Amino acid sequence: MRIAIIDTSTSRAAIISDGLREAGLADLVLIDPSRPILAQLGEARPEVVLVNLENPSRDVLEDYFAMSRALARPIAMFVDQSDAEATAAAVDAGVSAYIVDGLTKSRIKPVLELAVRRFQAFARLQDELHEARTALADRTAVDKAKAILIRRRGLDEPAAYALLRNHAMSTNRRIAEVAEAIITSEALMGDVP
């Protein structure tokens, strides 16, 4: 597992690196926070990002939270102090593990493992949500297309669905795609509300 380490202190970055190596994690990339972070992360292609901030200001935290939103990676963030608002902002930004006053070598590996698991669980939920929304949109399109066919061709509901299904099969397309084409066609004719 390639781990990117972001820390403004080289001595703390060394502690983190040592702790990771002792835990058997040796594929490490140190990110220079004085250079564009997202570009460096793009080049490094880490599987996990570990951020250690001593006493971050609101602006610094917001910059890191913006980075977190832009990355599709687990992020473990260690800070020396925080408040409820910053913690909530970290969670909202997608930080997988937000640890306050807890950077020790022995805790680094378990926290990273937690971050990866939480990220994977969140990604699964996002995928399920996307699938549910897509299924709902598909169902809505199919129902609308059936209504158009019923009105235009004088079919009943089972016959309208059979026509959609048969056309989808004969053209090797999804039923929802055929339904969208019917809706678009109807819209071009000016009959769709």
Instruction: List domains and CATH numbers for the chain.
Output: 3-103 (3.40.50.2300), 129-188 (1.10.10.10)
Alpha-helical runs (H) found in the chain = 10-22, 37-44, 58-70, 84-93, 105-153, 157-170, 175-188
Identify the band that residue 1 occupies on the pLDDT scale cut at 50, 70 and 90: confident
pLDDT at residue 102, rounded to an integer: 64
> Considering Cα of 184, then 185, then 187, then 191, what sign does the dihedral take?
negative
pLDDT at residue 11, rounded to an integer: 81
Which residue from 35, 47, 187 is spatially nearest to 120, judged by alpha carbons?
47
pLDDT at residue 179, rounded to an integer: 96
Identify the band that residue 24 occupies on the pLDDT scale cut at 50, 70 and 90: confident
pLDDT at residue 59, rounded to an integer: 67
pLDDT at residue 118, rounded to an integer: 85
Q: Between residues 191 and 157, which one has the greater pLDDT?
A: 157
pLDDT at residue 109, rounded to an integer: 79
Identify the band that residue 57 occupies on the pLDDT scale cut at 50, 70 and 90: low
Predicted TM-score (pTM) above 0.75: no
Identify the band that residue 55 occupies on the pLDDT scale cut at 50, 70 and 90: low
User: Model confidence over 109-153: pLDDT tens digits?
Assistant: 788 888 888 888 888 988 999 999 999 999 999 999 999 999 999
User: Model confidence over 25-41: pLDDT tens digits?
Assistant: 889 998 888 888 888 88
pLDDT higher than threshold 70 for residue 76: yes
Computed on alpha carbons and rounded to an integer, the radius of gyration of the chain in Å comes to 25
pLDDT higher than threshold 80 for residue 182: yes
- Tell me the C-alpha distance between 52 and 94, whole Å: 16
Mean pLDDT of the chain: 85
Identify the band that residue 167 occupies on the pLDDT scale cut at 50, 70 and 90: very high
Q: Between residues 104 and 96, which one has the greater pLDDT?
A: 96
